[in-house]
Amino acid sequence: MKTAFVNGRVFVGNGQVLEEVTVLVEGDKILDVGKSAPGPGSDVRIVPIEGATLFPGFIDCHVHLVMDASPDPMAAVVAQPPAITAIKGMVHAQKTLAAGVTTVRDMGGNDGIDLGLKQAIVSGLMQGPRVLASGKLICMTGGHGWPMGREADGPDDVRRAVREQIKAGADQIKFMATGGVLTPSVEPGCAQLTFEEMKAGIEEAHRAGKKTATHAMGSQGISDALHAGIDSIEHGIYLTDESIAFMKENHVFYIPTIAALFHIGEKGTAAGIPSWAVEKNKVVAPHHRKSLEKAHAAGVAIAMGTDAGTPFNHHGCNLMEIPLLVRHGLSPVQALMAATGIASQVLGLEKQIGTIEKGKFADLVLVKDNPLDDIDLFNEADAIVCVMKGGRFIDIGQKNG
C-alpha cells in the first residue's frame, strides 16, 4: 500500500522549502515528490501535512548508545555487566527513533554492543534508527574513552586495531586525537594519538573504504588528525585559523556536539557530575563557542551530533541540538540542513537518505507547525507528530523520559 503525505510544507534537506507539495511513498522508498495528490477512492493511505512541516528523517552524527546519560556514564559502563549496557542500548535506540532521528552514527562502544544493536535493528529483532557503528574507539593506552576503547600504541598497533574493528563489522573508525572531559586525569587540550599513529590508522580505514572521525579538542591533536587525513572533527574545542582553513579547503566536516557541553554546564556538580568533569567543561566551553563561530563564518561544513549518552544528554532529546546550533550562529535552515542533508554527507549516505527526493529511503518526520519560524519547537515534548523509517510508521509513544 502506498502512503501520501499530502499538500503541505516540505523541508527538502538541500536548502529548499516547498509549499503545497505531496510526498508519495511506496515500499521503503519515496516514489514521488510533486503537486498532484491522490484522489479520493485511490488505494493510498493519506496523511495530511496541514499546518505541520515534513522533514527528512533526522540524522545524529555522534551518539553513544552504550552510554546512559547518568552523571558519570563512563563509570557506569565500567561498573555494570555488558548485558545491562546492551539492554540500556536497546532502550536508547528505541527512544532515539521515536524522537524522529532515523539514523545515528555511533561513535564508540564497549564489547561490540553498538555492532550488536545495529544487527538486531537490521534483522527486525528490535526497533531503532539506522545505526552506523564504530565498534571500539581507538585510543592510546589510558587515553580518553579507554573504557570503551581499543588501546593502541605505535602506528602498527593502531593499524591492527583498525583492522580488528573492520573485522568486527565497523562502518567507520573513531580515533581519539586528544584528551577529553569525561575521563579522569586526561586533559582536553593535550594531544594523545600521534600524527604517525593516526596516519597509519586512517590510511588503513580508507583502504577498506571506511570513513574516519576523531574526538579532537586541543589544537595540536586537531592539526595532527587533519594532516593525517581525518574525515570529520568531533567537538573541536580549540580550532585554530589554520585548522579552519584546512577543513574548509579539504571538506573536512565539523561536528561540534554543543549539547554535550551544554548539559554538563547546566547541571554541574549539584546533579552528581564529577567535579573534575565540571571544572574541565567550564574551561573549554567559551573556546568551543569561539571555534564554532569562526568555523561557521569561514564556511566549514557543520553537521549535527549530540554526543547523546553523556551526562544528562538523553537519547531521544537529540533534536535540542538544532536550537543550540542556531544559538551559536547558524540560521534555522542551516541548522536543519546540518541535521539532514549535510549529516548524510558525513556518513557517505547522501544518495540514500538526508533529503526528501524521489528514490531515497522513505525516512520522513512530521514536525508540528513551522520550525523555520520557531526553532525552539524542538525543545517541546510534543514537537514530533509522526515518524516513518523506510516506509514504516514508528510507534512514538515512548519517546519521553
CB 260 to Zn ion: min, Å = 7
Cβ proximity to Zn ion, 68 vs 307, nearer residue: 307
Cβ proximity to Zn ion, 73 vs 332, nearer residue: 73
CB 79 to Zn ion: min, Å = 19
**Contact track, Zn ion, 332-371, x by CB under 5 A:** ----------------------------------------
Q: By Cβ distance, which residue is nearest to Zn ion?
A: 307
Cβ proximity to Zn ion, 107 vs 258, nearer residue: 107
Residues 302-331 that bind Zn ion (CB under 5 A): 307
Residues 86-115 that bind Zn ion (CB under 5 A): 107
CB 368 to Zn ion: min, Å = 30
CB 33 to Zn ion: min, Å = 35
Q: What is the 3-state secondary structure (H, E, C) of 298-341?
A: HCCCECCCCCECECCCCCCCHHHHHHHHHHCCCCHHHHHHHCCH
Burial class (CB in 10 A: 0-12, 13-18, 19+), 220: middle
Cβ proximity to Zn ion, 257 vs 340, nearer residue: 257
Separation CA 85–CA 64 (nearest Å): 11
Name residue 173's beta-bridge partners.
212
Residues 152-191 that bind Zn ion (CB under 5 A): none
CB 396 to Zn ion: min, Å = 26
Separation CA 300–CA 30 (nearest Å): 30
CB 26 to Zn ion: min, Å = 37
Contact 261, 327 (CB under 8 A): no
CB 254 to Zn ion: min, Å = 14
CB 285 to Zn ion: min, Å = 16
Cβ proximity to Zn ion, 56 vs 180, nearer residue: 180
Cβ proximity to Zn ion, 12 vs 260, nearer residue: 260
Cβ proximity to Zn ion, 307 vs 321, nearer residue: 307
CB 62 to Zn ion: min, Å = 6
3-state secondary structure of 6: strand
Number of residues located near Zn ion, criterion CB under 5 A: 2
Total count of residues recorded for the chain: 401
Cβ proximity to Zn ion, 231 vs 307, nearer residue: 307
Residues 250-309 that bind Zn ion (CB under 5 A): 307
Cβ proximity to Zn ion, 307 vs 363, nearer residue: 307
Contact 9, 370 (CB under 8 A): yes
For binding to Zn ion (CB under 5 A), which residues are involved? 107, 307
